[in-house]
Amino acid sequence: MAGYQRLWVSLLCCSFRANGYIKHSYYTVRRTSADELEDVVETLFDAMHELYVKAGARNFLLVDVPPLDRSPGALEVTINLNETCDMWNDLLRLYSNVFSAESTQATVLLFSAHAVLTEVLDDPFEFDFDQRDVEDAGGAIWVDELHLTTTVHSIISERLQRVLGFPVSSV
User: In sequence order, what DSSP letters do the residues of 29-80 get, joined into one string?
Assistant: -----HHHHHHHHHHHHHHHHHHHHHS---EEEEE----GGGSTTGGG--S-
> Quick one: pLDDT band at residue 115, thresholds 50, 70, 90?
very high
The pLDDT assigned to 76 comes to 72
This prediction has a pTM of 0.79
Report how far residue 98's alpha carbon sits from residue 100's, in angstroms, rounded to the nearest whole number.
5
SS3 87: helix
Q: For helices 34-54 and 81-102, give the axis angle rounded to 10 degrees.
A: 30
State yes or no: pLDDT of 96 exceeds 90.
Answer: yes
> Quick one: pLDDT band at residue 33, thresholds 50, 70, 90?
low
Neighbours of 106 (CB within 10 A): 19
The pLDDT assigned to 74 comes to 83
Q: Which domains does the chain have, with CATH numbers?
A: 2-164 (3.40.50.1110)
Number of helices (H), then strands (E), in the chain: 5, 3
Q: For 43-63, what is each residue's pLDDT tens digit?
A: 999 999 999 999 999 999 999
